[in-house]
């Protein structure tokens, strides 16, 4: 297995994308993608926690007692989630009021625990940091893509700015504001991206 | 020392907890002033929205200016609690910060009553930790709008002056619809709003 930073990054971002390949982190993908601003802060939170928890776990991996490694990983992840929660609360209180419960739930995001156990606990700190960044970015890529469709169709805005000549052509798709809209978008994205990345044998 | 020994595991966990705890505490302490300012600005914006019904976004200074220019404020001590009461200088409507236990945690907000306390003019929520998508929908305009013009039946028993959810008379003027899927939040809200209304009525003397 090659551990070149560029290969690890592309794997996390696309080839082994946590959302459409590994189907991880789905709860927040469905919950926070109806407004792009909320999505961006959620993505910041996940990238921050995935990267730094991967780095920290990798840094102390040789000292972590094997029997308590899961507890240690959760402890480290929870600390970074608390930090990111405080930062978002301070920088964007209005957005925190909406996504606050989901920021707390980053602790249970399978991507973070998955990367800590599968990658960071067996690799060196810098490459683990790259892997965390890549997985966070891969998660963000899909979330932002979904939000870029849901917000204009559901609210007629993008990042809170009204779309041009909205009154002439725009008609609200209420379903895009609601969670079922995210289900449809996620399914469409998964189908589209998997059809792009599937090996030839899979498509036959 | 062996990594499998209890002493090693205990020492490792204690050191890790102290380090991570210190890191989180440092970030919390560094932002404590900003968080306080944010909380103050949020409270002012909610008070402004409750009294004016205007949902447009203003600056924190503009919210403060509205409160200073238009509202009289008083704080009453009731046991350990300080009850904040506001009175509009022009239309004499009364507002107070209510609090109560929701499904998960405390719910706080502001309710505006007419000067004779006969009707509710508006309700807005300050903080809550209800379930997103269910109980958290108490903040939505479709729910809070039901309270505008709601009659308070002061002749009814304390728990039935304002009803959130089902009642014997579905057209009762003191009733609002509960939130579908959030029965417990709705029941809790109805219960503590009635208690809070009784508290405000007995604490309005000399205001």
Q: Is the pLDDT of residue A203 over 60?
A: no
Residue from the list A75, A89, A97 with its beta carbon closest to the beta carbon of B16: A75
Q: Is the pLDDT of residue A1 over 70?
A: no
Q: How far apart are CA B185 and CA B29, in angstroms?
A: 33
Q: How far is B23 from chain A (nearest CA, A)?
A: 8
Band (B190; pLDDT cuts 50, 70, 90): very high
Among A76, A82, A178, the strongest candidate for a mutation testing the B interface, having the largest count of B CBs within 10 A, is A82
Quick one: which of A50, A48, A44 has its CA closest to A111? A50
Q: Is B10 on the interface with A (CB under 8 A)?
A: no
Chain B's closest residue to A76, CA to CA, is: B20
pLDDT averaged over every residue in chain A:
88
- A72/B16 touch (CB, cutoff 8 Å), yes or no: yes
Q: pLDDT digits over B135-157, tens only? A: 888 998 889 999 999 999 999 89
Chain B's closest residue to A105, CA to CA, is: B132
Contact (CB, 8 A) for B175 and B194 = no
What was the ipTM of the complex prediction?
0.83
Residue from the list B9, B27, B132 with its beta carbon closest to the beta carbon of A68: B9
Q: Mean per-residue pLDDT for A150-162?
A: 89
- B31/A179 touch (CB, cutoff 8 Å), yes or no: no
Q: Is B101 on the interface with A (CB under 8 A)?
A: no
Q: Domain extents for chain A?
A: 5-146
Using alpha carbons, list the distances in angstroms from residue A18 to A54, A131, A190, B73, B148. Answer: 15, 11, 11, 53, 47
Q: Is the pLDDT of residue B18 over 60?
A: yes
Among B1, B31, B45, the strongest candidate for a mutation testing the A interface, having the largest count of A CBs within 10 A, is B31
**Token pair of B127, please?**
């903080």
Packing angle of the helix pair A125-155, A179-197 (nearest 10 deg): 130
Contact (CB, 8 A) for B117 and B154 = yes
Q: What is the pLDDT of residue A137?
A: 94
Q: pLDDT digits over A66-113, tens only? A: 889 999 999 999 999 999 999 999 999 988 988 887 888 888 888 899
Share of chain A above pLDDT 90, in %: 48
Using alpha carbons, list the distances in angstroms from residue B198 to A97, A113, B147, B157. Answer: 30, 50, 17, 10
- A75/B42 touch (CB, cutoff 8 Å), yes or no: no
Q: What is the pLDDT of residue B206?
A: 61
Among B2, B8, B20, the strongest candidate for a mutation testing the A interface, having the largest count of A CBs within 10 A, is B20
Quick one: which of B122, B151, B139, B147 has its CA closest to B182? B139
């Amino acid at each position: 297995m090659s551990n070149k930073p560029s290969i690890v990054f592309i794997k996390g971002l696309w080839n082994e994308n946590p959302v459409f390949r590994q189907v991880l982190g789905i709860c927040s993908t469905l919950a926070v993608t109806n407004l792009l601003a909320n999505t961006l802060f959620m993505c910041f939170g996940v990238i921050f926690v995935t990267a730094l928890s991967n780095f920290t776990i990798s840094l102390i991996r040789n000292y972590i007692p094997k029997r308590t490694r899961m507890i240690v990983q959760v402890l480290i992840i929870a600390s970074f989630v608390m930090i990111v929660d405080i930062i978002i609360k301070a920088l964007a209180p209005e957005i925190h009021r909406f996504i606050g419960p989901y920021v707390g739930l980053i602790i249970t995001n399978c991507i973070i625990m998955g990367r800590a156990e599968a990658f960071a606990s067996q690799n060196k700190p810098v490459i683990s940091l790259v892997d965390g960044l890549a997985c966070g970015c891969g998660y963000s890529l899909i979330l932002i893509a979904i939000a870029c469709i849901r917000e204009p169709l559901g609210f007629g805005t993008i990042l809170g700015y009204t779309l041009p000549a909205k009154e002439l052509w725009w008609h609200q798709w209420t379903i895009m504001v609601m969670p079922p809209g995210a289900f449809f978008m996620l399914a469409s994205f998964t189908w589209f991206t998997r059809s792009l990345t599937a090996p030839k044998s899979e498509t036959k | 020392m062996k990594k499998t020994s209890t002493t090693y595991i205990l020492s490792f966990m204690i050191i890790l907890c102290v380090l991570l705890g210190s890191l989180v505490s440092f970030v919390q302490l560094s932002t404590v002033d900003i968080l306080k300012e944010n909380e103050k600005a949020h409270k002012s914006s909610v008070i402004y929205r409750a009294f004016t019904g205007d949902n447009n976004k203003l600056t924190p200074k503009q919210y403060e200016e509205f409160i200073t220019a238009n509202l009289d404020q008083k704080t009453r001590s009731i046991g350990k609690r300080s009850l904040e009461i506001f009175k509009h200088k022009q239309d004499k409507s009364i507002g107070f910060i209510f609090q109560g236990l929701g499904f998960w945690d405390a719910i706080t907000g502001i309710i505006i009553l007419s000067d004779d306390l006969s009707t509710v003019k508006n309700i807005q929520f300050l903080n809550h930790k209800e379930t997103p998508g269910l109980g958290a929908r108490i903040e939505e305009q479709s729910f809070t709008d039901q309270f505008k013009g709601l009659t308070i039946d002061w002749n009814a028993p304390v728990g039935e002056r304002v009803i959130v959810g089902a009642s014997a008379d579905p057209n009762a003027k003191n009733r609002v619809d509960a939130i579908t899927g959030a029965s417990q939040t709705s029941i809790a809200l109805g219960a503590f709003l009635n208690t809070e209304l009784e508290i405000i009525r007995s604490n309005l003397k000399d205001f």
